[in-house]
Amino acid sequence: MFKRNFFKIYILLWFITGCKVTYNTYDFEESPEILKPNYSKNDSWAVLPDKIPEEITQFKTDNSEKKADVFFIYPTLIDGKNQKEWNSNIWDPEIRYDVINRPVKYQSTAWMEAGNLYVPFYRQAHIRVFNEKFKKDGIKALDLAYSDIREAFIYFLENFNDGKPFIIASHSQGTVHAKRLISEFIDGKELQKKLIAAYLVGIKVSENDFQDIKPMNSPFEVGGFVSWNTFKYNKYPKRNNYENWFKGGVTSNPITWDDKKEVGKELHKGLLYRNLKIFNNNIDIKLIDGIVWASLPNVPGKLLLKPVRSYHFADINLFWVDIQKNAKIRVEQWFKKNK
């Protein structure tokens, strides 16, 4: 998982660290129309509580409905230099396979024990939207992607949720959409009372991005958000983009979930690796402004990670068990608080 994602999700850091990438593309208006999802149909969802892909069935510990829900928004997966389209075709079997076998399998499963998992397929924007050169059309592509997430969330609320408290979880581009979703539907609204927590990972989130929803600094806190971006120990983004993309962002501790700035591997609960193998007590971390520094994971093939400065591709994998256990605690705390 670490190796494969290095070539995919890690590419986002090319843009936010200043590297130049050339793409062949249409103007947005010339991009072929993609059939939009219909969230009343099961095939527009990657995961529903009664539609668990075979690839993640080992994480479904029981068949009973849980008291809380989880709405997960996956990261950018399309990055081809010669892919002219601005948004992904969710009906393409390769796209669907990628969604299930990467973010669903190795990220969303961290929240499966905490609640009923919902993961919509959506027409995600191409990676080039994060390149300043493509900003004008990139905004349009992100708007299209968000329109799917918005419709999926509305359908989720009206047809699945039935008033249960919920977790919002996301990574990378997914967090771009999650921030917008929270601002539109939850922050300062009646629905905020149902928010257990938002795990907004892999994109800078500032303390004042929301009006009423604030960062959480305790593993037992509810109603707020946590966020982090992971780099190798003592490594920074290249070309001074640290200021724009990381510095000043909320940097939660994804092991102890409190104000500790340094944590040793003895407290690390576990990372999720290839073939769904868990490695416990594996990494040390240190928090600096906008970044979580992590030590080199002690996993098979770790030498391949030695030259890697950004662990963006593993923001969730590195703390998979830590997230799993924390999400369950926060659900329990929400119900204690709302008896």
Q: Please answer whether residues 77 and 99 qualify as being in contact, where contact means their C-beta atoms are separated by less than 8 angstroms.
A: yes
Rounded alpha-carbon distances, angstroms, from residue 91 to 10, 35, 48, 133, 142: 24, 8, 17, 29, 18
> What is the per-residue pLDDT for 304?
86
> What is the per-residue pLDDT for 80?
66
Cα separation, 289 vs 310, in Å, equals 15
> What is the per-residue pLDDT for 6?
37
DSSP element (H, E) containing 263: strand 262-263
Give exposure, 92-106, as e/b (b: 16+ Cβ within 10 Å).
eeebbebbbebbbbb
- Helices 135-156 and 173-185, axial angle in degrees (round to 10): 60
pTM for this structure? 0.93
**159 alpha-carbon distance from chain centroid:** 24
Domains in the chain: boundaries: 2-337
Q: Half-sphere exposure of 181 toward its Cβ, with a 13 Å CA cutoff?
A: 29
Q: Which ranges of the chain have pLDDT less than 70?
A: 1-29, 79-82, 239-240
DSSP element (H, E) containing 137: helix 135-156
> What is the per-residue pLDDT for 179?
98
Within 157-195, residue ranges assigned H as helices are 173-185
> What is the per-residue pLDDT for 5?
44
pLDDT digits (tens, 9 = 90+) for 120-167: 999 998 888 777 777 777 788 899 999 999 999 999 999 999 999 999
